[in-house]
Each structure stands twice: as structure tokens, then as C-alpha cells.
Chains A and B, each alone.
Chain A
């Protein structure tokens, strides 16, 4: 039986890790080119190869690692699949921040983490929030990977939804519809909340402002 708090923990922590790591990486790429352009585009491959292609060996690998049917296992795969979007979206925000401010901070003796925390982050906060919520929408509604990697102990809500199709008692329309509303509602609230930021984050640097 699916538990909403479990679903929230999986989606929120995978998203949080992906966005935190992605933002730092994007900062490094934007300011110090720690990844070349080629590597940045290669990162996109993580997202663009259909997950079904590696699903079967992933199942076996996970059962060897004892990660099958665990929240931690799902968090790892969601982290991996959301990282490319996290890096690319936050990078387009960081690129817009003028470098002069960091240089000034550096001259005044700020450390790199201080610069990130106190100069960069406040300026890109709305962008990071938009990225966070966009990736949250994707991980929240992800179906295929949780369908394959979790069955009994950990059941995400979208997979629970298809359990109501069950063959023993026929299709339980009422439960299914109620849960469907329950899953969708938070996303719509989030979407309305971030609508303004979505437009900014979605261009992956393909637009100059």
C-alpha cells in the first residue's frame, strides 16, 4: 500500500539533491568551465536515453545491491535522471548574474562558498525554486522506473494508481479517481505558484536576454 509521506520523501529528497548538486555544478561550469561544452551536452544523454532501455539490467543490479523496493534506490535513479535538467536550467540563471559582483566579493576577501552563498544564491533564488519545482513535478509523476524498481514495500502513488486496475476485484473506479485527484492537486498548486518562473527556466540558455 502506498503511503503519501513516502512518496513525498522520495520525490522531495531526489529533487533536493539533484538541484543542490546541479546548482553547484552549474556554478562551476559557468564560472570556471569545470566541464567542457562537450561534457555538458554529454550530461544530457543521461536524460535522453529512454530509461526502459536499461530497466532489465538495472533491476538485476539493484537486487544484487539490495536496493530493490527501497526508497533509497528510487532516490538514486531519480537523482540521476533529473541531474541534467537541474544543471542546464540553473546554469542559464547563473550565466545571467554579472561577474563583477563576485570579483568585488573576492577582492574583499570572501571565500568561494561565501560568494556562492551570499552573492550568487540570493540572485538566482527564484530560478532555483523554479528548477526545484519543475523537477519535483517530473519525479512526483514518474511512472516507469518506480513501476519496475518497486512493487511491495515501497509503492509510489502513480504505481498505486495502476494497482486499482487489479484483476481480482475488477477496476476500483472510485479509489482510483480519488487518488488521481490527490496526486494531481499538489502539482497544479505548485504549477500555479511557479508559473512566472517557468518561462525563464525553460530555455536552457538558448535565448539571450
Chain B
């Protein structure tokens, strides 16, 4: 609306004469700002490199005359077991919450992809958790998961005996509490993606299989799942990557505690940089994390591209023969 109008405002209409010249101008009015955006960000990465090679903490006055430390900081990070534990926890957190979100979300989508009475009520109900602010979720969870809080009261009432489960203070269980919260928060994301996928599937293969006598389970396994592969990968990958970066819930709820029991990678980096003020060590650790994340993101992108190509190829052929 107004947004597009302001963006188009300053641009003059492209020259009428040559069409390809017009396209070139159009291209660079858009790609130009994009490149300057990347240039704007470049110093951030250079600064990070500087910090990871120089030993600086916030107690030193000026950052530009810190001592050169070579690879010492990387060595320090790599010999710290806390760093590896943070990694292990991040993978546990992201892996379990992704699987949880996906299974529940896909299940709900399978229930919901055909219209029925009260459909929109359930739909709103199921997407509601995604519409909450993550930090609000974490403080609210903090209140209701209290040892004598409402969740334990409800469970006691249902079980008929007194239950006083330690959701947060138990170092062995705390991370699973946060994983459950993450699943609650982001199941709608998987649900919406899978619902979109399911409702866009062509009807003919399913009908054909049904006429040929295939059962519900067989149709699901041999027709719906293969056709949904790109969407399934999309849901899993987006959710996993967002969960790797998750900060408000882990931080707001337990700040990495009890001890270091819920210290995921983002929390570890935050504590090293802003609590211990060890900026250089934080930068070195960040660099290592960034490299690993780039590897993960690139392989994710490889998978998504392959799936998208397969999908495009699949749909191009019937379209050439004329659509039914």
C-alpha cells in the first residue's frame, strides 16, 4: 500500500527507448541497495575477526590497542568443555524441539486439512501459541511452573495425589521443560506449513489410490508423504535453524541455570561476552559457531534447492501436456 508507494516514489519511469536498458536500471535500483546493505554489515565481521585475534576485555580502555593474541583465544575456547557442552545442549534442544513441533504440527494438519464444522475455531486455537511474544511465554511459564504453582496444582487435582514436580530447579530436567515450551510455542509454525502443503496436494493420485483399494495408512505413506517432501524439509529446516538461535526462552526462564544445565550456545555466548565481559573470547567462540552454522545453513540450502528443483521438474511435465 503506502509502503510500496514511498519506495516507488523517487524512481523515474524507465527510459522508453531501449527495453533492456530499462530492465538494467530497474535491476540496479534494487540490487544496488542490497549490495550496500552487505557493505554496511562488512565492518561487523571485520571487527569480530579483530576481536577474536586480539586479547581485549571491557576493563581495558581502548579496543584498538589490545594485544595481538594470535590463535590463543580460539585455543582457549576449543579446550573448554563448557563450549562443547553448550553445543551438545543446543543440538539436543533444537533437534528434540524440531521433531516435537513437526510431529504434533503434522498430526494437527492431518486432522484439519478437510473442512468441517468449527474448523476456523480450532484453526485459531492451534495457531494461538505462535502469536505470543516468546519472552512473555518464558515469564508466564516461570510463574505457572513454580513448585507450588498452578501446573502442579492441576496435575495434583487430576492425579488425586499431591504432585510437587520440580520443573525448573532440577538440573537434569530443566532443559526438557524449555524444550516443551519451545514445542508449545512453535508447533503452529509446523502446523501451518504442513496444512498449506496438504491442502495444495492434487486430489487425483489420492482418489486413484483409494479406488484401487489402498488404505488410509498406505495412501499417507506412499502418496502424501512423498509429494510433501519439499514442504517437510522446509518445515524441519526452518524450525531447526530458528531453534538453534533461540534466546528469549532459555535466557528469560533460567539464564542458563541451574548451574550450566540449560546453557545453550546463544546463552553461552551471551554470558561470556556480557556477563564475564570477555569480549575477545566471546568473539572467538562466535566465529567458531558462525563457521559451523554456515556449514549447517549451506547444507540446508543444498537440500532445499534439490527439493525445489525436483518439485519444479515434477510439475512442469503435466503442464506441458495441458492441464485438466
The residues of A with any CB-CB pair to B shorter than 8 Å are: 16-17, 19-21, 23-25, 28, 32, 34-35, 37, 41-42, 44-45, 48-58, 60-61, 76, 80, 83, 111-114, 116-117, 121, 125, 128, 132, 137, 140-141, 143-144, 148, 158, 161-162, 165, 173, 176-177, 180, 183-184, 187-188, 190-192, 195, 198-200, 202-209
A34:B269 contact, CB within 8 angstroms? no
B interface SS class: helix
With known contacts A176-B139, A204-B234, A48–B133 Cβ distance under 8 A: no
* Interchain CB contact under 8 A, B266 and A52: yes
Q: A141-B135, A203-B197, A207-B197 are in contact. Are A53 and B4 (CB under 8 A)?
A: no
**B196 near A203 (CB under 8 angstroms)?**
yes
| Residue B60 CB within 8 A of the other chain | no
B124 within 8 A of A: yes
Interface residues of B (CB under 8 A from A): 1-8, 11, 13-14, 16, 22-23, 26-27, 30-31, 33-34, 37, 40-41, 43-45, 47-48, 51, 63, 120, 123-124, 127-128, 130-136, 139-140, 143, 189, 192-193, 195-197, 199-200, 230-231, 233-234, 241, 244-245, 247-248, 252, 265-266, 269-270, 273-274, 279, 282-283, 286, 289-290, 293-294, 297, 300-301, 304-305, 307-308, 311, 315
In the assembled complex, the CB of B250 is this many whole angstroms from the nearest CB of chain A, namely: 11
Residue in B11, B130, B233, B252 whose CB lies within 8 Å of A191: B130
Q: Is the interface of A mostly helix, strand, loop or mixed?
A: helix
With contact pairs A199-B192, A207-B231 given, residues A191 and B279 touching in the complex (Cβ less than 8 Å)? no
The answer to whether B4 touches A183, judged by C-beta atoms less than 8 angstroms apart, is: no
- Of the candidates B6, B136, B245, B308, the one whose C-beta lies within 8 Å of that of A205 is B308
Shortest beta-carbon contacts, A-B, top 9: A50-B245, A57-B47, A141-B133, A191-B131, A20-B3, A143-B248, A20-B7, A111-B13, A57-B48
Q: Complex Cα distance A137/B230, Å?
A: 25
Which residue of chain B lies nearest to A41 when distances are taken between CB atoms in the complex? B301
Complex: chain A residue closest to B131, CB-CB: A191
